[in-house]
Amino acid sequence: MPAPAPEEREARLAERLERIKALEAEIKSRERALKKAETAKKQIVLRLSPTLWDEIAAWAEEDFRSINGQIEFLLTEAVKKRKGR
């Protein structure tokens, strides 16, 4: 069986390269979509007593976070603890 001509081999390699580029683009697109979904934030109304608010605000200041950031951190840690991580 004779080896394919160099032009034929080059054409096959070019096709493979195009398929690889298309797959890479699709993977990057899916990664962006997943990252966007993960970073999307839901807004909620949260009612706290003034005392609890003051305590969380002081704690947030100590940790150099916003109050929202502190509440999110606390909730994230509680969920991790619940899951046993």
pLDDT tens figures, 21-55: 999 999 999 999 988 888 888 889 999 999 999 99
Domain boundaries, the chain: 1-40, 42-85
CB 62 within 8 A of CB 73: no
The answer, yes or no, to whether residue 82 has pLDDT greater than 90, is: yes
CATH T-level topology, domain 42-85: Arc Repressor Mutant (1.10.1220)
Residue count of the chain, please give it.
85
CB 60 within 8 A of CB 67: yes
